[in-house]
A and B are shown apart, each in its own frame.
Chain A
């Protein structure tokens, strides 16, 4: 299996622009998670899905952030409009329902908002 796939790996954009991050979970996994990592706040959960349905989005910083999972093999995290404080590494992870503590992380998207 290819593991969790994220794209792009790096993104540089200007403040105010829309940013879309993409994730393909491991085939057959029921759960998908979006995390954000910064030096100041460490690794924090933004939102997670079970069977394509958002379960907990309490970690989403504000309305500028939105996430979708239109099918079992694809999810997006969108930031509109982007701000410099959104600069971070964004990770996607997936897991099986029977083993939610064992999550498989993608390589991350490094986002820089100028």
Chain B
């Protein structure tokens, strides 16, 4: 799986938007971009994924650069419950491997 680069930590204020960046300059054409988050003392939780087009769901939005070498997870209004470690992961579509390779992620702190 291709490698991703994320900032170690970010801070946000409650009820403000948060943009979490991820660089993946060696992404291949068949790699999906997945985002997971891990709240304190819980297991990782799927957030969103996409291939080329921007994606929206009830939790977040995913903005993918035109060249696909970077992406941004957008939380539209951060709440205290969004404080977590956010992981950006590449996974080959239809790949034989079933696993996800987790990096260190970005630790998001949300201030009231």
Inter-chain contact total with CB atoms closer than 8 Å: 50
Which B residues lie at the A interface, using CB under 8 A?
A: 32, 34, 38, 42-46, 49, 89, 91, 97-104
Tell me if B's interface is mostly helix, strand, loop or mixed.
loop
- Provide the A32-48 mask, 1 if CB < 8 A to any CB of B, else 0: 01000000001111001
**Chain A, 50-85, CB within 8 A of any chain B CB:** 50, 55-56, 59
CA distance A106 to B42 in the complex (A): 8
Q: B100 touching A45 by the CB < 8 A rule?
A: yes
Q: A42 touching B102 by the CB < 8 A rule?
A: yes
Given A101-B34, A102-B49: A48 and B43 interface contact (C-beta under 8 Å): no
Which A residues lie at the B interface, using CB under 8 A?
A: 4, 31, 33, 42-45, 48, 50, 55-56, 59, 91, 93, 95, 100-108
CA distance A42 to B104 in the complex (A): 7
Given A45-B99, A56-B97: A105 and B32 interface contact (C-beta under 8 Å): no
Tell me if A's interface is mostly helix, strand, loop or mixed.
strand
Q: A48 touching B98 by the CB < 8 A rule?
A: yes
Nearest-Cβ distance from residue A25 to partner chain B, whole angstroms: 13
CA distance A4 to B33 in the complex (A): 23
Residues of B within 8 A of A48 (CB): 98-99
Residues of B within 8 A of A45 (CB): 99-101
